Amino acid sequence: MHKTPSLRPLVLALLACGSTASHAVSFTQNDVTLDINGTINGFYVAREAKSINRATGAETSTTNSALSNGLLPGWINFVATTHTQGLDIKAHISFAPGINNNSDVVGLPIGNPNPNSGTPANPYSQIDTRNVYFQFGNSEWGTLKFGRDIGLFGQNIILSDMTLLGVGGTSNAGIPFNTTFGMIGHGYMYTGFQPQITYTTPSVGGLQAAAGIFQPSRFAGDETKTPGFQAKVDYDWKGGMPGKVWGGLVSQSTSCSSSTPCATKSFSATGMELGGKVALGNFEAVAYAFQGKGLGLSTVGAQFFGGSNGAGNKTDSQGYFLQGTYKMGATKFGINYGANKDRDGFALTGAGTSNQITNRAVTLGVYHSLNKFITLVGEFNDEKISNVVDSNFDNKNRTVSLGGLIFF
Q: What's CA 171's distance to the chain center, in Å?
A: 15
d(CA 187, CA 31): 44
Asked if residue 178 lies in contact with residue 125, where contact means CB atoms within 8 angstroms, the answer is yes
pLDDT digits (tens, 9 = 90+) for 127-154: 788 899 999 999 999 999 999 999 999 9
Mean pLDDT for all residues in the chain: 83
Range of the domain at 329: 44-73+141-407
pLDDT digits (tens, 9 = 90+) for 171-196: 665 555 678 888 999 999 999 899 99
Considering its fold, how many domains does the chain have in total?
Answer: 1
Q: With CA atoms as reference, report the closest residue to 401 among 128, 179, 84.
A: 179
Radius of gyration for the alpha carbons in the chain, expressed in angstroms and rounded: 22
Average pLDDT for 287-298: 91
Region of 31 (left: φ > 0; alpha: ψ -120 to 50; beta: rest) is: left
pLDDT digits (tens, 9 = 90+) for 343-364: 877 656 554 445 788 899 999 9
d(CA 27, CA 4): 10
Q: With CA atoms as reference, report the closest residue to 200 among 272, 132, 146.
A: 146
pLDDT on residue 285:
98
More confident residue, 364 or 62: 364
In a domain, 257, yes or no: yes
In a domain, 240, yes or no: yes
Question: What is the H or E stretch that residue 13 is in?
Answer: helix 11-16
In a domain, 310, yes or no: yes
Q: What percent of the chain has pLDDT over 90?
A: 55
Reduced to 3 states (helix: H, G, I; strand: E, B; else coil), residue 352 is: helix
pLDDT on residue 214:
94
In a domain, 92, yes or no: no
Q: Is the dihedral of CA 5, 92, 286, 357 positive or negative?
A: negative
In a domain, 152, yes or no: yes
Q: Sorting pLDDT into bands at 50, 70 and 90, what band is 67?
A: confident
Phi, psi of 155 (to 5 degrees): -70, -50
pLDDT on residue 347:
57
In a domain, 101, yes or no: no
Which pTM does this prediction carry? 0.87
Which of 90-99, 130-139, 331-340, 383-392 comes out lowest in average pLDDT? Answer: 383-392
pLDDT on residue 12:
39
**Residue 82: beta bridge partners?**
89
Asked if residue 167 lies in contact with residue 401, where contact means CB atoms within 8 angstroms, the answer is yes
In a domain, 373, yes or no: yes
d(CA 179, CA 164): 10
pLDDT on residue 389:
61
Residue 60 neighbours by CB distance under 10 Å: 10
pLDDT digits (tens, 9 = 90+) for 186-245: 999 999 899 999 999 999 999 999 999 999 877 767 778 889 999 999 999 999 999 999
Task: Write out the DSSP string of 112-135.
Answer: S--TTT-PPP-----EEEEEEEEE
CATH of the domain at 66: 2.40.160.10
For residue 168, what is the DSSP state? Answer: B
In a domain, 397, yes or no: yes
Reduced to 3 states (helix: H, G, I; strand: E, B; else coil), residue 45 is: strand
Q: How many Cα neighbours within 13 Å face the side chain of 64?
A: 16
Cα separation values, 235 from 169, 176, 204, 239, 322, Å? 30, 38, 9, 14, 19
